[in-house]
C-alpha cells in the first residue's frame, strides 16, 4: 500500500505562542457607610499583620458612627477612606452625584497567572465580580517646615493575595 498522503501542518497563531495573560481591573473610590463591614475586616487583617490584635477594639457599629456620622464633613476636609476594588471585568461608571468632588481612579494590570483569593466571598462588593482588596485612611495635615497643606496617611493596607501585583497608582 502506498504511504498516506502528507497532512497539512496545523495553523499556528501568534496568540497561541504567547504566554497566557489575565487582565485585572482595579478601582479606587471613596468609601461609604455601606462599606463598613469590609473596612472592619480590613482593619482586623491589618491588626493581625502588624501583630496588634490585642489593641484592636473597633466594631462595625463604632466605625460606622465615627467614620460616617449623620452630618459628615465633605471628603478631604476630615478623615477620608479610599477603597481598592478589583474585578476581572471593567467597572461600570459610578454616578457623579455619588462623589461630587472625586472621580474614581481606574487601572488595569496584566497578570501572568490569575490571583487566587480564598476570601473573595467575604469581600464581595458592588455585584458578583467586584472584590475589596484594600483601603487607605488619611486626613488633612499641615507642614510648618514647608508651609503647605497635605494629607497624613494613618493606615494603608492591601490584602495579602493582592500585594505585589502592580495595583499601586
Q: Which domains does the chain have, with CATH numbers?
A: 21-61+74-162 (3.40.630)
Residue that wins the pLDDT comparison between 118 and 14:
118
User: 29 pLDDT exceeds 60?
Assistant: yes
d(CA 119, CA 131): 9
C-alpha grid cell, residue 117: 483569593
pTM, entire model: 0.82
pLDDT category at 168 given cuts 50, 70, 90 is: low
Q: What is the pLDDT of residue 153?
A: 96
Q: CB–CB of 82/136 below 8 Å?
A: yes
51: left (phi over 0), alpha (psi -120 to 50) or beta: left
- The rounded distance, in Å, linking the Cα atoms of 64 and 28 is 20
Structure confidence by residue, pLDDT tens digits, 108-134: 888 878 888 999 999 998 777 899 999
Alpha-carbon distance of 30 to 73, in angstroms, equals 13
Is a pLDDT exceeding 60 seen at residue 156? yes
Read off the DSSP letter of residue 54: G
SS3 (DSSP) at 30 = strand
pLDDT of res. 18: 53
Q: What is the CA radius of gyration of the chain?
A: 22
Polymer length of the chain: 169
> Strands 131-143 and 80-87: what pairing?
antiparallel
Amino acid at each position: 500500500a502506498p504511504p498516506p498522503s502528507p497532512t497539512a501542518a496545523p495553523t499556528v497563531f501568534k496568540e497561541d505562542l504567547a504566554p497566557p495573560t489575565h487582565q485585572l481591573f482595579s478601582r479606587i473610590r471613596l468609601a461609604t457607610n455601606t462599606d463598613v463591614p469590609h473596612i472592619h475586616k480590613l482593619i482586623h487583617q491589618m491588626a493581625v499583620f502588624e501583630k496588634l490584635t490585642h489593641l484592636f477594639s473597633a466594631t462595625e457599629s463604632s466605625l460606622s458612627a465615627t467614620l460616617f456620622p449623620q452630618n459628615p464633613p465633605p471628603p478631604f476636609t476630615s478623615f477620608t477612606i479610599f477603597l481598592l476594588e478589583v474585578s476581572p471585568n471593567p467597572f461600570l461608571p459610578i454616578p457623579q452625584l455619588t462623589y461630587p468632588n472625586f472621580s474614581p481612579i481606574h487601572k488595569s494590570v496584566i497578570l501572568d497567572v490569575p490571583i487566587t483569593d480564598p476570601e473573595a466571598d467575604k469581600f464581595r462588593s458592588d455585584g458578583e465580580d467586584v472584590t475589596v482588596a484594600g483601603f487607605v485612611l488619611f486626613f488633612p495635615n499641615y507642614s510648618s517646615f514647608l508651609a503647605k497643606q497635605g494629607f497624613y496617611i494613618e493606615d494603608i493596607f492591601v490584602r495579602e493575595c493582592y500585594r505585589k501585583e502592580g495595583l499601586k497608582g
